[in-house]
Amino acid sequence: MEIKTKMGLSQEEARRRLRRDGYNVLEEKKKPHPAVLFVNQLKDPLVLILLVATIMSMLLGEVLDALIMIAVVMINAVIGIWQEMKAERSLAALRQLNSPTALCLRDGKLIQIDSRELVRGDVVYLRTGTYIPADMTLLESQSLAVDESSLTGESEHVSKRLGDAVFMSTYVTYGSGCGRVEKTGMQTEMGQIASLLNHRERQLTPLEQRMASLSQKLGLLCLGICIGMFLFGLLRGHDFFGMLLTAISLAVAAIPEGLVAIVSIVLALGTVRMAKQNAIMRRLDAIESLGSVNMICSDKTGTLTQNKMQVVRTYPHVTAELSEGMVLCNNAVASEKGYQGSATEKALLAYFQNEDKLSERYPRVKEWPFDSERKRMSTLHRYQDHYRLYTKGALEVVLARCDYVLQEGRVCILEEKHLAMIEKAGNDMAEAALRVLALAFRDVIDPADQLEEHLVFVGMVGMIDPPRPEVKDSIRQCRQAGVEVTMITGDHEKTAFAIARELDITHNVHQVMNGATLATLSDEELYRKVASVRVFARVKPSDKVRIVEACQKHGWLVAMTGDGVNDAPALKKADVGIAMGKTGLDVAKQASDMVLADDHFETITRAIEEGRHIYGNIRKAILYLLSCNLGEIMSIFGALLFFGEEMTILTPVMILWVNLVTDSFPALALGVLPESNDLMKEKPRPKEESLFSHGGLVFTILNGLVIGLMTLVAFRYGLNESESCGRTMAFMVLSLSQLAHTLNLVSEKKSLFQEKGERLKLVLMVILALTVLQLAVVNLGIFWRLLGTLPLSFDQWCVVIGLALSLIGINECVKWFGR
């Protein structure tokens, strides 16, 4: 690599290599140009139907109608582009908070540089509490230990020696060293994984599938209306060309122009609400998927727990020797940002630290680092007239090297009765899923002796990463809502089970499976067993994808949390991938659908509730719009059937007014209804559930027929005076019955009179405002020429209001029978 270890690269050579190899960054999936994003928004099936309707309207000479539909398409596209760009800006802000630097040797000087500018051959110095900025080979190692969990999923820290490899985005937990950069950017191990993820295609969300299905049905409906109306007219002897234009007009009227924009607006407003609750949605449609989730596969550390080890038990009690030893035999350091080092050693320092500067009073002379074979760490310290060795590690390892025990400040020979008490205390801690660390010491004159033997047992501590206090209630809420929670962790099964038991995930040890058992199962066996397992312990990164796939085979909609590179394939595979915002790596965030800005499990629960809320509101808006449009079609078709082609029940301008005013604004009000208190008491919706399930289709047809029938009755009543009067009454009944119909959809089951005023507030305000506008349409001369209306008498108003409000009475009766 043409490197001088003592001098490092020259700045000139570093610049040359940077130009050759590029920046040391992981390439994100290429962001499409705004023009491409715009075209993608037009691929929505409903948007395509609107575009076809726009062309038809222009052919019919309805230019204003066509322009309005083009405006709706534009609004929808702008909202979609805005949300995608907004999510990317939020993620960029999170990345900015964690912009790494590197201590690099250039021209013989140690300088701090942006890690993006590292090149192959650079010498980089590593110290406790820093992330490793590239793949490197170690040139020096002073008790260096690295947390590689972001890459491997293993929670144990790995000791590193001269010549060992260390990898980008892993974390130095203690020690120091320096290394030579071997690979940067996309050539690193992390870069290879990121490259694979960028080429994975995403699956359609349930909402996208439902909207695509709805679009097909609407398209077939429009085609059917067009053909049926055309043939009906020909059979009655009407003009060929005239009937063709009438049939096309009716088909265009059947399309709810505002539907696309309203769905997009409701989803966009949902993302704003969720962002305020620390859930950043990367895709609009993924919000609704959250409402369908019935299985959450969650990491333990940092999501269910606090990611902060704590000493919760000591044996026999806190003594000066125990406190002193745990502080001195420790590589964590205090800084302005808190303690830096491994989670275990930070917890020991936080628990035992006192005001005395122990490391200055008793300087360290030598260290024997912890590794997976020794399972202990020892440090030698200079006292006034002698040396003292402290050893900490696994209880069985430390105890095997002890010949003595410290009792009430006196050193005694270690006897069977002492061993029995110590082992019982250790077993009690282990049964409580505590990590047990024992401490022993030895005073020596000559540090050249074999030191790690004939030790004096001092005591031990029990530690745990405690659960987040709010998680238990959140899991209970999930279970009440029909959402199961499965813990997936790299930790020991005893520790995992203890946390799961405390959080009420499971109280049955038979619902715990370790990675070794999982590895022996075929995919079919895992599919059969996954339903009865609630804790997966000691799992490998590849196991997470298998677990998600097994859950999905059951038809479950799976949410998966993760923060490391090892989690990214599972995040991509899950129906809803959820990355951690604080501790998560960029690769995980890019693979996800949602990012938790606060890393809290409680945020997932709130997001599921919001997803259900949004889906329910979108469904209400869709049923409302389709009922109203069906009412319009039935009234036009009925008038043609009963009154002939000569009678026009609604003018094109009236139809346009209804579509723009009394259709769109109430639908939008339904789309932003405050959430119900019952949302998290209901079971999740099946993936394949139609928008018209639970009586939605019957509801739509019934209300459409009633609206159409009431409009025809009003028209017939008004014809007693004149065609203009009949048309005005029909127009008013159609408009006001649609406004009344908004109240029917506030709840599909509960009576309108059981609803709280707070939920009705916005809907009632919209209805009142539009009712006043409708009164103005009839009574102000400025509208008479525009819409062809005329003032109504008192008797006629009574008929109009009676017919419009009858829709509420009919729906109340249907709900009563349903209950």
Q: Please give the pLDDT value at position 97.
A: 41
* Model confidence pLDDT, tens digit, residues 584-634: 766 677 778 899 988 888 999 999 999 899 888 988 998 998 898 888 888
User: Minimal CA–CA distance to 54: which of 31, 81, 30, 74?
Assistant: 74
- For the ranges 216-220, 300-304, 312-316, 786-790, which has the lowest average pLDDT? 216-220
* Model confidence pLDDT, tens digit, residues 193-241: 666 665 555 555 666 667 667 766 766 776 777 777 778 777 777 667 6
Q: Please give the pLDDT value at position 82.
A: 63
At residue 330, the 3 state secondary structure works out as coil
Does the domain formed by 292-306+468-599 have CATH 3.40.50.300? no
pLDDT for residue 526 is more than 80 = yes
What global pTM score does this model have?
0.73
Rounded Cα distance between 645 and 643, Å, is 7
Q: Domain spanning 11-27+100-198: which CATH class is it, in words?
A: mainly beta
Q: Please give the pLDDT value at position 144.
A: 85
- Residue 593 catalytic? no
Contact assessment for residue 468 and residue 305, using Cβ atoms and an 8 Å cutoff: yes
Contact assessment for residue 576 and residue 483, using Cβ atoms and an 8 Å cutoff: no
Rounded Cα distance between 222 and 52, Å, is 11
Query: What mean pLDDT, rounded, does the chain reach?
Result: 82
pLDDT for residue 157 is more than 60 = yes
> Mean pLDDT across the stretch 84-105?
60
DSSP structure class, residue 467: B
Find the catalytic residue in 299, 465, 543, 593. Answer: 299
Contact assessment for residue 166 and residue 181, using Cβ atoms and an 8 Å cutoff: no
* Model confidence pLDDT, tens digit, residues 401-449: 999 999 988 999 999 999 999 999 998 988 887 889 999 999 988 777 6
The fold of the 625-818 domain, in CATH, is Calcium-transporting ATPase, transmembrane domain (1.20.1110)
Q: Please give the pLDDT value at position 324.
A: 93
Where are the domains positioned within the chain?
A: 11-27+100-198, 292-306+468-599, 310-464, 625-818
* Model confidence pLDDT, tens digit, residues 318-372: 888 999 999 999 888 777 767 777 778 889 998 987 656 788 889 988 888 776 6
Confidence of residue 1 (pLDDT cuts 50, 70, 90): very low
The CATH code belonging to domain 310-464 is 3.40.1110.10
Q: Which positions ≥6 away from 604 have C-beta within 8 Å?
A: 279, 296, 298, 474, 559, 561, 578, 596
* Model confidence pLDDT, tens digit, residues 135-144: 999 998 887 8
Contact assessment for residue 120 and residue 137, using Cβ atoms and an 8 Å cutoff: no
Burial 167-199, CB ≥16 within 10 A → b, else e: bbbbbbbbbbbbbbbbbbbbbbbbbebbeebbe
The radius of gyration of the chain's CA atoms, rounded to the nearest angstrom, is 35
User: Minimal CA–CA distance to 662: which of 794, 549, 774?
Assistant: 774
> Mean pLDDT across the stretch 786-809?
91
Q: Residue 98: phi, psi to the nearest 5?
A: -120, 40
